[in-house]
Amino acid sequence: MGKRSHATPRRFLTRITCGDTTSGASGGSTKRSPRSRERTSAFPEARRVLLGVAKALREAPGPDAWIQAIFRLEAIARWAREAEAWDLADLIARQMLEHDPAYGGSHLALALVAEQRSDVPAASRALAAAERCWSRADPDLPELALVRARKARIAADAEP
């Protein structure tokens, strides 16, 4: 069996978790289609491939590869969240944090996973860490605005 080539991890993850959008299948049925079973069984392959990509990114030598790795890891984490592959999103967020704990995006990725899991204390800690990391960023940085909005929502939800 030969290796499959996928243009991007996003396309690969989307293809196996969401299906081929050109197939013409309707989404109204509650029965599991053969396509659905295929996607479910293919997810471990996507996880394996994307974790391999993450490992290769982190091991690439040189400063340019190092900085590119954090942004590519961030993209993989985002794609995993979009595909609702939360365990994979968590693993990638933790790898981001190991790779660059000073990058606010590492903490934000972890916070988003914690929020999805309703782990408010972990989400709060990660959001606070992201805000600290971006404390000297441009005030209109979209990610910083997102962090502050999520912190405010958590605080408002905690009020009696």
Residue 23, in any domain of the structure: no
The answer to whether residues 105 and 140 belong to one domain is: yes
Residue 94, in any domain of the structure: no
Residue 22, in any domain of the structure: no
Residue among 122, 57, 45 nearest 85 (CA): 45
Q: What is the pLDDT of residue 151?
A: 96
Tens-digit pLDDT profile for the chain (160 aa)?
444 444 455 555 555 444 433 333 333 333 444 444 444 456 777 777 888 888 888 888 888 989 999 999 999 999 999 989 999 999 999 999 999 999 999 999 999 999 999 999 999 999 999 999 999 999 899 999 999 999 999 999 988 8
Q: What is the pLDDT of residue 13?
A: 53
Residue 124, in any domain of the structure: yes
Phi and psi of 87, rounded to 5°?
A: -65, -40
Residue 160, in any domain of the structure: yes
Show which of 44, 69, 89 is a domain's final residue: 89
Range of the domain at 73: 8-17+34-89
Residue 54, in any domain of the structure: yes
Show which of 68, 89, 110 is a domain's final residue: 89
The answer to whether residues 112 and 73 belong to one domain is: no
The answer to whether residues 61 and 128 belong to one domain is: no
Q: What is the pLDDT of residue 88?
A: 92
The answer to whether residues 83 and 140 belong to one domain is: no
The answer to whether residues 44 and 82 belong to one domain is: yes
CA distance 8 to 5: 9
Q: What is the pLDDT of residue 42?
A: 62
The answer to whether residues 108 and 63 belong to one domain is: no
Residue 26, in any domain of the structure: no
The answer to whether residues 134 and 83 belong to one domain is: no
The answer to whether residues 40 and 68 belong to one domain is: yes
CA distance 88 to 85: 6
Residue 29, in any domain of the structure: no
Q: Could you tell me which residues come within 8 angstroms of residue 88 by beta carbon, excluding any fewer than 6 positions away?
A: 46, 47, 50, 51, 80
Q: Please tell me the total count of domains within the chain.
A: 2
